Amino acid sequence: MSFTLLLNSSAWRRHLESVNESVSAHAQIVPVIKGGGYGLGQERLANEASRLGSTCVAVGTVYELDSILDVFVGDVVVLEPFEPRDAAAAHLWAHILERPGAQRVIRTIARPSALHALAQASTSSRILIEARSSMQRFGMDERELLATLADGSVRSAIAEGRLEIAGLTLHLPIAQPAGEVGGRGSQALSARAREVCRWTGLWLAEIAGWTHQSESAAAIWTSHLSDTELAAVESAAPGAPLRARVGTRLWLGDRSSLTAQGTVLAVHPLPGGTHVGYRQRTGPRDGTLIVVSGGTGHGIGLSAPTPASSARQRVVTAGTGALDAVGKAMSPFTWAGSRRWFAEPPHQHHSMIWLPRGCVIPAVGDQMTAEIRFTTTRFDAVIES
């Protein structure tokens, strides 16, 4: 029995085409297919990116390159910055750069030392230079960026074509302060859009004196900009081609086309007080114990810390923590219109769920839908309908 994703292919592809069209009106779309491929699998997403006409996709790390280069014929950006001191990754980079298709790989460079290392290498590299955005995760600040690009070895490598710059990249925050808008009316810019415009001006001024660089050097690569923000940046900085990385909005934007479901494996009506599971806990009086496929190996029961940015979220988080403390946890599985309680923490491939007295009882083989986080979920199969 399996934990599966039921994919409404026609509705899902209509959504993909809609997002592709709206983003492409202002920027070249770069589908992101990192990690587990948002639950749908990287190979499937790479094929869909090709169907949409994308000439470039983005993966998360160097460890995801091999399989993507085999199924996607365009350029592939690695989002995690290249770091020569990461010994395991450096070893894999050496292997990747020897294989067919290596010329399609674009590395992200976020530290001066990494750029210096590539500038001194005997082989050529295609790179994106990452500016440190207000997210404050990776990237060079303005001073580091200008000082590094002024270095003689870096200048020589750029002039000689050993460093092919594909543009400047920014990874932007999802949230921004309320009311952070500059300008008036149609000229109003969000905080994110202003940040991109500021870096764009700096970047275009810096590369204006470069020689022997392709037109791609002027490109600005962004994430988490809405179509309205992309249009504003396009208008405010017409000299910079825009590249928009899009992941969650593209692949998971229409949740109605994606249904996670576990198969009922066993049904046990039990009298009150019966002990069950590894921890021998008791359940509701005269309840029914359901064993359903889907466990920690699939991502069930795994969750990231909540952002808790509002009072309501903090109350919900506190309440959930209190229930966890007394051994009660709500499962992601739904039956008869309601989410149901775990009998105990999920096992590797299965979960044990309580149904109360009076509830409609499923049969073995029935499907229980689940509300899950797709980026941490691994399905046994994706079934297209």
- The mean pLDDT of 342-369, rounded to a whole number, is 96
Residue 69 CA to residue 75 CA, distance in Å, equals 9
User: How does pLDDT run across 174-192, given as a tens digit for each residue?
Assistant: 987 655 555 544 457 899 9
Whether pLDDT at 71 is above 60: yes
Topology, domain 8-251:
TIM Barrel (3.20.20)
Half-sphere exposure of residue 299: CA atoms within 13 angstroms, side-chain side = 20
Query: Domain segments of the chain: what residues?
Result: 8-251, 255-384
Superfamily of domain 255-384: Lyase, Ornithine Decarboxylase; Chain A, domain 1 (2.40.37.10)
Residue 55 CA to residue 281 CA, distance in Å, equals 54
- The mean pLDDT of 258-273, rounded to a whole number, is 96
Whether pLDDT at 47 is above 50: yes
Q: Which residue has the tokens 């825009």?
A: 242
Read off the pTM.
Answer: 0.90
Nearest to 264 by CA among 117, 161, 363: 363
Q: What percent of the chain has pLDDT over 70?
A: 90
pLDDT at position 306 is 60
Residues 26 and 242: beta-carbon distance below 8 Å: yes
pLDDT at position 209 is 80
Provide the token pair at 268. Answer: 């046990």
Provide the token pair at 216. Answer: 């791609």
Q: What is the DSSP string of 181-217?
A: EESSGGG-EEHHHHHHHHHHHHHHHHHTT--S--GGG
SS3 132: coil
pLDDT at position 312 is 52
User: How does pLDDT run across 205-238, given as a tens digit for each residue?
Assistant: 999 888 666 678 999 999 999 999 999 999 998 8
Provide the token pair at 278. Answer: 């590894």
pLDDT at position 284 is 86
Whether pLDDT at 95 is above 50: yes
Q: What average pLDDT does the chain have?
A: 90
- The mean pLDDT of 247-251, rounded to a whole number, is 98
Residues 158 and 195: beta-carbon distance below 8 Å: no
Residue 96 CA to residue 76 CA, distance in Å, equals 12
Q: What are phi and psi of 222, to 5 degrees?
A: -135, 170
pLDDT at position 323 is 37
pLDDT at position 103 is 95
Beta-carbon contacts of 23 under 8 Å, excluding residues fewer than 6 positions away, are 29, 227, 230, 244, 246
pLDDT at position 169 is 98
Q: Which residue has the tokens 């297209």?
A: 384
- The mean pLDDT of 360-371, rounded to a whole number, is 97
Residues 138 and 158: beta-carbon distance below 8 Å: no
pLDDT at position 186 is 42
Burial class (CB within 10 angstroms; exposed 0-12, middle 13-18, buried 19+) of 93: buried
- The mean pLDDT of 253-262, rounded to a whole number, is 98
Beta-carbon contacts of 32 under 8 Å, excluding residues fewer than 6 positions away, are 57, 58, 59, 79, 245, 246, 247, 250
Q: What are phi and psi of 275, to 5 degrees?
A: -90, 140
Count other C-beta atoms under 10 Å from residue 88's C-beta.
9
Name the least confident of 149-158, 185-194, 365-374: 185-194
Q: What percent of the chain has pLDDT over 90?
A: 81
Provide the token pair at 2. Answer: 């399996």
pLDDT at position 275 is 94
The region that residue 308 occupies, defined by phi over 0 for left and psi between -120 and 50 for alpha, beta otherwise, is left
End-to-end CA distance of the chain: 19
Residue 178 CA to residue 287 CA, distance in Å, equals 48
User: How does pLDDT run across 301-334, given as a tens digit for each residue?
Assistant: 886 666 655 555 444 333 343 334 335 799 999 9
pLDDT at position 273 is 87
